[in-house]
């Protein structure tokens, strides 16, 4: 049988994902997000051989949608932004944070006619303003979003808030919560049928470990 291929995000979600696999009784023995070898093979109890691909979080959806990986782990922020054509059967419960609209305390972006909004999540930000009947000018950036309002590039930002420390350090406050974020198990649509047994086993072991058997 060909190994089940799993796409895991490098960054902050990897350690949480590895800890959950361990709690589920299927530790990812020998798999490291820092390894130079990007396809790492291990064996999971009850599932068999797996190949773990350590990927950029923003690439996991594409690998799973195109069937290169049968399953993956992805934050719901990226899932909502990219909307890959995959199944997302399980909220994994880690990586919790919030997608927020933030700005300087006196700036109510929702009251401006066409607010300029800097973000790494242009689709989410555009939808948020459209749903409130006020289109925004979206300024897509790739990082250090909090600096944009401080230097006059934007009136507000739509970004992830985890501890709130980056906002505090830059004198910004949350004006609205867009949605809560957590990591999801995502599954390729065909793999749900072709590798049903192994995918179901993985899903139920992870679900049991987070109390959602």
Binding site for ligand PRP (CB under 6 A): 143-146, 159-166
Minimal distance, residue 96 CB to ligand PRP, in Å = 12
Minimal distance, residue 134 CB to ligand PRP, in Å = 23
- Of 15 and 162, CB closest to ligand PRP: 162
Minimal distance, residue 121 CB to ligand PRP, in Å = 9
- Of 38 and 144, CB closest to ligand PRP: 144
Minimal distance, residue 125 CB to ligand PRP, in Å = 13
- Of 151 and 213, CB closest to ligand PRP: 151
- Of 92 and 161, CB closest to ligand PRP: 161
Minimal distance, residue 178 CB to ligand PRP, in Å = 13
Considering only CA atoms, which of 183, 203, 201, 212 is closest in space to residue 16?
183
Residue 61 sits at the vertex; the CA angle it makes with 179 and 63, to the nearest 5 degrees, is 170
- Of 102 and 136, CB closest to ligand PRP: 102
Distance between CA atoms of 188 and 173, rounded to whole angstroms? Answer: 38
**Sequence-distant (≥ 6) Cβ neighbours of residue 191 within 8 angstroms:** 67, 70, 71, 199
Distance between CA atoms of 136 and 139, rounded to whole angstroms? Answer: 9
Minimal distance, residue 142 CB to ligand PRP, in Å = 7
- Of 157 and 191, CB closest to ligand PRP: 157
């Amino acid at each position: 049988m060909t190994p089940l291929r799993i796409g895991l995000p490098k960054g902050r979600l990897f350690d949480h994902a590895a800890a959950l696999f361990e709690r589920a009784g299927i530790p990812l023995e020998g798999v490291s997000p820092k390894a130079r070898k990007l396809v790492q093979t291990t064996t999971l109890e009850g599932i068999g051989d797996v190949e773990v691909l350590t990927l950029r979080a923003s690439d996991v959806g594409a690998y799973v949608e195109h069937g290169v990986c049968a399953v993956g782990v992805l934050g719901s922020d990226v899932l909502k932004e990219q909307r890959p054509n995959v199944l997302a059967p399980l909220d994994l419960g880690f990586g919790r944070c919030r997608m927020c609209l933030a700005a300087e305390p006196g700036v109510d972006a929702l009251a401006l006619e066409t607010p300029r909004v800097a973000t790494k999540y242009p689709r989410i930000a555009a939808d948020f303003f459209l749903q409130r009947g006020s289109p925004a000018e979206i300024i897509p950036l790739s990082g250090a979003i909090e600096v944009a309002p401080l230097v006059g590039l934007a009136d507000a930002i739509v970004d992830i808030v985890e501890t709130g420390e980056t906002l505090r350090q830059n004198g910004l406050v949350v004006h609205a919560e867009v949605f809560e974020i957590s990591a999801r198990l995502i599954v390729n649509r065909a793999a749900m049928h072709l590798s049903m047994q192994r995918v179901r086993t993985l899903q139920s072991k992870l679900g049991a470990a987070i109390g959602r058997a």
